[in-house]
């Protein structure tokens, strides 16, 4: 069976794990706003109410890709907030008018954390995501990739579940309890991702930034607590589960928006780290370009075209980049794409 966007799929697969095809450029459409303040996983609304929004977002990606001819593979995005797995463990959540929902911690002590059991995949927010995916699949057919929801790392999920003030004290006072909770989060996350692929079939694990990769190249997650940790702390509390998950799924795609340049050598220890998405603080992208050339694709979003071109100027001979251009009016998007494509030709 011939898959849609076969050329783009091969291009991105090669970028992450094959012969270098040239830096990639993907251009986002102006997607529809979330229709309600919550998300499908935690909403009281029927799951079916969320299907048109997800399908419309996919259709807009198709239109944008066909108008520009970028390297994107359109896919259905099952967008949620970061609260998904913490709520499955029993956390409450807070809604915002202009941002995604957020989890509210449900434990404050090691004793309370140890009392938590790993939720089953029938926990309400997870069950709703699976139902959402199945309803979307009925609408779009078997060949369209469906993207997993927002995935936080095991440590980051634990940091949402356990009240932050006491969580970081517990790292020093009750370190084994912290590790036990992180291990529970890793177990749930692994079970969810395996079941997601089993149920969904044609899927993509990457939720941030907007890009596609085949699921056999690895899972995807956000590691945003790394910026407030020492290297030794990161390697003790985070690296073991990251390594385990990368080995389970055949690789890893990571997002990190923290001030975490000091963790680059530790990130490099994750086997088959296929891609790293950073939100750079001072001193900018150069340390990442130096650290990951020849090993990991730097997938960059939320940057101006000028900053993307500056990264191209910094590139090593074996650097690999993916530039995700944010939503712009079509004429401007075409202009930006043409400028970047001239500097980043396909090979």
| pLDDT tens digits, one per residue of 25-36 | 999 999 888 999
Give 49-84 pLDDT, tens digit per residue: 999 999 999 999 999 999 999 999 999 999 999 999
Cβ distance 153 to 226 under 8 Å?
no
pLDDT band at 1 (very low <50, low <70, confident <90, very high): low
pLDDT band at 157 (very low <50, low <70, confident <90, very high): very high
Give 230-288 pLDDT, tens digit per residue: 999 999 999 999 999 999 999 999 999 999 999 999 999 999 999 999 999 989 999 99
Question: What is the bridge-based pairing of β-strands 102-104 and 92-94?
Answer: antiparallel
Say if residue 335's pLDDT is above 80: yes
What sign results for the dihedral spanned by CA atoms 58, 62, 65, 68? negative
Closest by CA to 129, choosing from 85, 93, 95, is 85
Classified as helix, coil or strand, 321 is strand
Give the bridge partners for 205, in sequence order.
none
Does the pTM surpass 0.85? The reply is yes
Say how many C-beta atoms besides its own lie within 10 A of residue 263's C-beta: 23
Say if residue 341's pLDDT is above 90: yes
Looking at residue 97, its pLDDT comes to: 82
How far is C-alpha 223 from the geometric centre of its chain's CA atoms? 9
Burial class, 66, CB count within 10 angstroms (exposed 0-12 / middle 13-18 / buried 19+): exposed
Which is higher by pLDDT, 193 or 97? Answer: 193
Looking at residue 275, its pLDDT comes to: 98
Cβ distance 300 to 310 under 8 Å?
no
- Which pair of tokens denotes residue 14? 């090669």
SS (H, E, C) 186-250: HHHHHHHHHHHHHHHCCEECCCCCCCCCCHHHCEEEECCCHHHCCHHHHHHHCHHHHHHHHHHHC
- Residue with the two structure tokens 């969904």: 200
Looking at residue 186, its pLDDT comes to: 98
Say if residue 121's pLDDT is above 70: yes
Looking at residue 98, its pLDDT comes to: 81
Give 278-324 pLDDT, tens digit per residue: 999 989 999 999 999 999 999 999 999 999 999 999 999 999 999 99
Say how many C-beta atoms besides its own lie within 10 A of residue 9's C-beta: 17
Burial 157-190 (b: 16+ CB within 10 A, else e): bbbbbbbeebbbebbeebeebbbebbbbbbebbb
Give the up-direction half-sphere exposure of residue 263: CA atoms within 13 A in the CB hemisphere.
26
Burial 30-50 (b: 16+ CB within 10 A, else e): ebeebeeebbbbbbeeebeeb
What is the dotted CATH code of the domain comprising 6-342?
3.20.20.210
Cβ distance 226 to 260 under 8 Å?
yes
Looking at residue 195, its pLDDT comes to: 98
Question: What is the bridge-based pairing of β-strands 203-204 and 76-77?
Answer: unpaired
Average pLDDT score, the chain: 97
What CA–CA distance (Å, rounded) separates 126 from 40? 10
What CA–CA distance (Å, rounded) separates 127 from 123? 6
Give 179-229 pLDDT, tens digit per residue: 999 999 999 999 999 999 999 999 999 999 999 999 999 999 999 999 999
What CA–CA distance (Å, rounded) separates 210 from 255? 11
Question: What is the bridge-based pairing of β-strands 76-77 and 297-301?
Answer: unpaired
Kindly list the domain boundaries of the chain, sorted by start residue: 6-342
């Amino acid at each position: 069976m011939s898959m849609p966007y076969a050329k783009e799929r091969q291009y991105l697969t090669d970028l992450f794990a094959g012969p270098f095809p040239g830096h990639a450029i993907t251009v986002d459409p102006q997607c529809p706003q979330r229709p309600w303040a919550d998300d499908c996983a935690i909403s009281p609304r029927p799951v079916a109410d969320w299907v048109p929004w997800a399908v419309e977002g996919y259709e807009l990606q198709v239109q944008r890709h066909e108008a520009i001819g970028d390297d994107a593979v359109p896919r259905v995005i099952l967008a949620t907030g970061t609260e998904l797995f913490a709520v499955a463990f029993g956390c409450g959540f807070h809604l915002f008018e202009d941002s995604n929902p957020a989890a509210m911690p449900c434990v404050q002590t090691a004793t309370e954390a140890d009392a938590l059991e790993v939720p089953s995949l029938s926990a309400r927010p997870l069950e709703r995501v699976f139902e959402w995916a199945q309803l979307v699949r009925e609408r779009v057919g078997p060949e369209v990739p469906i993207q997993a929801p927002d995935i936080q790392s095991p440590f980051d999920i634990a940091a949402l579940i356990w009240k932050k003030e006491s969580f970081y004290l517990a790292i020093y006072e009750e370190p084994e309890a912290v590790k036990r909770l992180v291990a529970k989060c890793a177990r749930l996350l692994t079970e969810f991702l395996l079941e997601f692929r089993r149920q969904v079939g044609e899927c993509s694990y990457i939720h941030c930034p907007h890009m596609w990769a085949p699921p056999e190249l690895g899972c995807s997650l956000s590691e945003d607590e790394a910026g407030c940790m020492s290297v030794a702390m990161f390697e003790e509390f985070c690296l073991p589960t990251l390594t385990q998950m990368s080995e389970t799924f055949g690789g890893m795609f990571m997002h990190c928006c923290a001030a975490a340049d000091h963790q680059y050598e530790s990130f490099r220890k994750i086997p088959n780290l296929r891609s790293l998405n950073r939100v750079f603080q001072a001193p900018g992208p150069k340390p990442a370009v130096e650290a990951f050339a020849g090993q990991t694709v730097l997938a960059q979003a939320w940057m101006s075209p000028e900053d993307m071109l500056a990264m191209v100027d910094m590139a090593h001979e074996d650097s690999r980049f993916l530039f995700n251009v944010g939503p712009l009016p079509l004429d401007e998007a075409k202009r930006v794409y043409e400028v970047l494509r001239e500097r980043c030709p396909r090979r």
